[in-house]
Chains A and B, each alone.
Chain A
Amino acid sequence: MKKEDVPQDMSALGKITTEVCYATDKEGNYTTEQSRGWDVKITALDVTWKNVEERMAAARQKVLSNEASPLLFFMEKNVMDVSIVAGYTGFWKWRVKRHLKPSIFNKLSNKILLKYAEVFNVSLNEFKTMKVDAS
């Protein structure tokens, strides 16, 4: 890639820092050039987050129709799977899976719920009610 071809499309990262790209100068020698982002990458990221939002919406529906506990919603929101949640909370995977059932979830002690809330960076009440900003 030539230095003048390094794309400069403003990305979410570009607002915070430019990134280093390796590109060639007129003589064909490698040098670095700062980039603000590239449209192709920006849409790749957008598509990925749009998918996360769709998964969140589906999870919210499941919780509302009592097919799953709020834990599922927050897992999708935080792009986590059962093993990542198990890693952060210290609970075994089979316990996390159990907590996805509303009947079991509703009987959990505050101590356990607080552990989840800390991992998801929300308050206990937000965790139980899913009342957080849609973002």
Chain B
Amino acid sequence: MQVNFQHMQAAHCESGVTRNLLKNIGINKMTEPLAFGLGSGLFFVYVPFLKINNGPAIAFRSFPGIIFKQTCKSLKIPVRRKKFFSKQKAQLFLDQRLEEGHAVGCQVGVYYLPYFPKEYRFHFNAHNLIVYGKEGDNYLVSDPIMDTVKMLTSYQLERVRFAKGALAPKGQLYYVEKNQDVTDEQMKTAIKDGIKKNVFNMLRIPGPIAGVRGIRFAGRKIKKWRDKLGLPKAGLYLAQLVRMQEEIGTGGGGFRYIYAAFLQEAYAYHPADGLLKISAEFSRAGDLWRTSAVQAAGIYKQRLGSQEDFNVMGDYLLEIAEIEKKAFESLAKINWH
């Protein structure tokens, strides 16, 4: 049994799954940057008291699940989302949805994902993929990170759907309940709302560790890592920062390039003054994130290591924070027609 479904590769798993599920119900104007922007995907947070894989907890995107939820909500597309306690029930529910002809999005952990290269298998539980069919004991899987479709046995799929640890997926799945079309008017409103929420998340979210203030906070902390952690550990921390920023699923530059692409696409719907200029600012931020990654690599490759090198690294983040702050402030002032 197989649902009519077309696989498309994407840069980021959740916005890719969102686009592919929506395209599948006939919303052809959906693109990955649009899904990312409508879902207010851009973010930054550094949680200093939390450790992930013995390194700092840093994220460049909003909380897992938000992109799909908010994109569909703002386009008024009815979705269903469900978590499970029982593995049997989780499989049965999935089978029934496939039987009804739904392509189903699943949150999974990547650690036991057999087609992932070994080097990439960490206990990262916020990966997303689409199940679009079943043949015997095998599920047909469209993973937006991969260029081709994959197959998982029911045991393999169960294992990744019930991965354990932080953000455990608990078998969570989601799908579009009813096919529906989206008008250009709806898209315009959704773009405006998505941007407004993103402005809030980056500029006005309370506390010092998130949004633009979070970037500045991380920049100040990094300058202290050398003395506080010692060079080897500080190098590991920077490697983790770079992995969160550039690894598969980011589209490069800590999602800043996808967001810049989104603003260009937004301009096609809203030819508002300044939008393209702001898009270029996000490209600049993305470029600077990548420059900072090169600096970080110098440190974890042990080519660099003086306090001055750490200061340069920290200052990059302070500069980025300034660019992104101004960019979001200009976005907040855009005159929507």
Stretch at the interface among A44-52, A59-67, A108-116, A122-130: A44-52
- Please name all residues of chain A whose beta carbon is closer than 8 Å to the beta carbon of B287 when the two chains form the complex: 1
The answer to whether B123 touches A40, judged by C-beta atoms less than 8 angstroms apart, is no
- Please name all residues of chain A whose beta carbon is closer than 8 Å to the beta carbon of B235 when the two chains form the complex: 47
CB contacts under 8 Å to A, within B181-222, are: none
Expressed in whole angstroms, the Cα–Cα distance for A44 and B10 within the complex equals 23
Q: Would you call B248 an interface residue if the criterion is a C-beta within 8 Å of the partner chain's C-beta atoms? A: yes
The answer to whether B264 touches A30, judged by C-beta atoms less than 8 angstroms apart, is yes
The answer to whether A22 touches B33, judged by C-beta atoms less than 8 angstroms apart, is yes
The answer to whether A41 touches B243, judged by C-beta atoms less than 8 angstroms apart, is yes
Expressed in whole angstroms, the Cα–Cα distance for A78 and B264 within the complex equals 43
Given known A12-B117, A13-B120, A47-B236, contact A21–B164 (CB-CB < 8 A): no
The answer to whether B252 touches A23, judged by C-beta atoms less than 8 angstroms apart, is yes
The answer to whether A13 touches B248, judged by C-beta atoms less than 8 angstroms apart, is yes
Q: How many residues of A contact B (CB 8 A)?
A: 38
The answer to whether B146 touches A17, judged by C-beta atoms less than 8 angstroms apart, is yes
The answer to whether B283 touches A1, judged by C-beta atoms less than 8 angstroms apart, is yes
Point out the residue from A28, A47, A49 that lies within 8 Å of B300, measured CB to CB. Answer: A47
Given known A45-B243, A48-B243, contact A20–B251 (CB-CB < 8 A): yes
Most buried by B among A20, A49, A79: A20
The answer to whether A40 touches B297, judged by C-beta atoms less than 8 angstroms apart, is yes
CB contacts under 8 Å to A, within B256-279, are: 257-258, 260-261, 264-265, 279
Count: A-B pairs, CB below 8 Å = 121
The answer to whether A83 touches B165, judged by C-beta atoms less than 8 angstroms apart, is yes
Q: Would you call B11 an interface residue if the criterion is a C-beta within 8 Å of the partner chain's C-beta atoms? A: yes
Expressed in whole angstroms, the Cα–Cα distance for A49 and B121 within the complex equals 11
Expressed in whole angstroms, the Cα–Cα distance for A6 and B11 within the complex equals 13
Q: Would you call B82 an interface residue if the criterion is a C-beta within 8 Å of the partner chain's C-beta atoms? A: no
- Please name all residues of chain B whose beta carbon is closer than 8 Å to the beta carbon of A15 when the two chains form the complex: 117
- Please name all residues of chain A whose beta carbon is closer than 8 Å to the beta carbon of B33 when the two chains form the complex: 22, 30
In the complex formed, the residue of A with least CB distance to B256 is: A22
The answer to whether A48 touches B146, judged by C-beta atoms less than 8 angstroms apart, is no
The answer to whether B294 touches A40, judged by C-beta atoms less than 8 angstroms apart, is yes
In the complex formed, the residue of B with least CB distance to A6 is: B252
In the complex formed, the residue of A with least CB distance to B236 is: A51
- Please name all residues of chain A whose beta carbon is closer than 8 Å to the beta carbon of B55 when the two chains form the complex: 48
Shortest Cβ gap from A132 to chain B (Å): 14
The answer to whether B119 touches A30, judged by C-beta atoms less than 8 angstroms apart, is no
Shortest Cβ gap from A52 to chain B (Å): 9
- Please name all residues of chain B whose beta carbon is closer than 8 Å to the beta carbon of A48 when the two chains form the complex: 53, 55, 236, 239-240, 243
Expressed in whole angstroms, the Cα–Cα distance for A51 and B55 within the complex equals 11
Shortest Cβ gap from B88 to chain A (Å): 16
The answer to whether B247 touches A22, judged by C-beta atoms less than 8 angstroms apart, is no
- Please name all residues of chain B whose beta carbon is closer than 8 Å to the beta carbon of A24 when the two chains form the complex: 283
Q: Would you call A88 an interface residue if the criterion is a C-beta within 8 Å of the partner chain's C-beta atoms? A: yes
The answer to whether B260 touches A29, judged by C-beta atoms less than 8 angstroms apart, is no
Shortest Cβ gap from A117 to chain B (Å): 15
Q: Would you call A92 an interface residue if the criterion is a C-beta within 8 Å of the partner chain's C-beta atoms? A: no
The answer to whether B168 touches A87, judged by C-beta atoms less than 8 angstroms apart, is yes
Shortest Cβ gap from B87 to chain A (Å): 12
Point out the residue from B11, B119, B122, B283 that lies within 8 Å of A19, measured CB to CB. Answer: B11
14 contacts between A and B (CB under 8 A): A17-B148, A19-B11, A23-B257, A28-B280, A39-B297, A40-B294, A40-B296, A41-B246, A43-B297, A44-B246, A47-B301, A51-B236, A87-B164, A88-B164
Contacts A12-B120, A48-B243 given; 4 further ones with Cβ under 8 A? Answer: A41-B242, A41-B243, A45-B119, A47-B239
Nearest 5 Cβ contacts at the A-B interface: A87-B164, A30-B261, A22-B257, A44-B239, A20-B11
Q: Which of B's residues lie within 8 Å of A, judged by CB?
A: 9-11, 33, 53-55, 111, 115, 117-120, 122-123, 145-148, 164-165, 168, 235-236, 239-240, 242-243, 246-248, 251-253, 257-258, 260-261, 264-265, 279-280, 283, 286-287, 290, 293-294, 296-297, 300-301
